[in-house]
Every structure is written in structure tokens, then in C-alpha cells.
Amino acid sequence: MKYRAKFTKGDNVKFVGHLDLLRSIQRTINRAGIFIKYSWGFNPHQVFSIAQPLSVGQTSLGEYMDFELMEDISEDEVKQKLNAVAPRGIEILKVRRLNESEKKVAALVEYGEYKVILDKDIRDEQIKNFMLQDKIEVDKETKSGTKRVDIKGDIVNLKAQGNVLHTTISTGSMQNLKIELLVETLYKYVGFEYDEYKIDVERQDLYYMHEGKTLKKLI
């Protein structure tokens, strides 16, 4: 039986790196006493996949993972059992069974919605002008050196209220814009000094594009 769970990465676990988070979830599943399917090989390991990892220090209200259980348990029971033994900061918000044919989260996810607390106030009009540019070019590191790329197409929306930024941007395996890079580019445009350690990022949710027009949550 395949399942998808939506969970939080709260303040208590925001500094837990991606691999350590995977291990924590694996141990949470072990404690919950639900039996997950293992892949065999040299080192049997649980098979579960997580959509687009966050950077260390960022929190999220909408992370997703897929996993396969050995038994057929109700969605509610899975959720309850996991929440009873999850570390503080990780809360399972929703669980849904998947059909065999459904895409894995990692392949499905395309967009992420973020709330960013900045260390300075930004005015509406600054955002407007930023978005009115023909191109928003940045240097991106690739295997063959740095490249100038236009990220304008990766920004679905961008709004600011005082020092709070709301935005939805490409967050997927095909197209991806790092939220830090967007903020840095915006700061440069506005003429602010950028200090990556001074901004706080909270991911709101992850989406995919449904029939080419609407953004849909992963569950």
C-alpha cells in the first residue's frame, strides 16, 4: 500500500539537515510500529521519498513524503500513530493513500510557496518595478561553470508587506529557483545589503501544475 503524508518541519527541527531528517522520520516510523517496505540489497533500507529538501535553518508548513507499507492501514491510523511518536516540530498534517499509477512526490512537485521574513522593509512599488523588468538575470552555478540565466519565468507571484515577503516560485526537479537566490537578487535590485543569515524562510506548501493552469497541493 502506498501512502503520501504531508508534514511540518517546525522551529524545533529547522536546523536538522536533510539526511538527518530522513533518519529521524525512519525512526519515527519504526517507533510507530507500522511496517514499511524495505528495499533489499547490501544494506536494506526503508523506501520513502521526500519532495524538494529544504535548506538547513528553514521551516515548513507543507513537506511531503511517499512511502509503502506492508499492510493496509487506514489513513487516519497512519497519521495518528506517527504523530504519537514524532519528534517535536514534525507533525503529520494529512495522509492519503496513493494509486499505483500516481507519480512520486519528488517527480510531481513543481512549485513552492514561501513566506520570508526580511531584515528590512520593502515597498510595494519596489517589488512592482522588480517584476516589471524584461528579464531577471542571475549567475547560476552549473557543471560547466557559471551561466547567466533569466529567472523571471520561475516567479509565479511575489508580494511584500513591510518586511514580509510572500512568493511562489519553481521548486521542482526540472525547474528550480532557490528562495535564497530570489531574495538576494531582489536585494541587489533594490540596493540593500544582503546577509543570508538574516532572513528567515518558511515554506508554506508545495504544488504541481494541474492541466497546465491551476496550482494544486500535492495532497
Residues within the interface to other proteins (CB under 8 A) = 12-13, 15-17, 19-21, 23-24, 26-31, 33, 35, 38, 42, 44, 56-57, 85-89, 196-198, 200
The least CB distance from residue 203 to other proteins, in Å, is 16
The least CB distance from residue 197 to other proteins, in Å, is 4
Contact predicate 114/160, CB 8 Å: no
DSSP one-letter code for 197: G
Residue placing its CB nearer to other proteins in the complex, 127 or 165: 165
Contact predicate 66/48, CB 8 Å: yes
Residue placing its CB nearer to other proteins in the complex, 109 or 201: 201
Distance separating alpha carbons of residues 108 and 95, to the nearest angstrom:
17
The least CB distance from residue 31 to other proteins, in Å, is 4
Residue placing its CB nearer to other proteins in the complex, 102 or 200: 200
Residue placing its CB nearer to other proteins in the complex, 19 or 174: 19
Is the sign of the CA dihedral 7, 58, 122, 183 positive or negative? negative
The least CB distance from residue 71 to other proteins, in Å, is 14
Looking from the CA of 90 toward its CB, the CA atoms found within 13 Å total: 26
Distance separating alpha carbons of residues 11 and 60, to the nearest angstrom:
9
Distance separating alpha carbons of residues 96 and 7, to the nearest angstrom:
12
Residue placing its CB nearer to other proteins in the complex, 21 or 182: 21
The least CB distance from residue 47 to other proteins, in Å, is 12
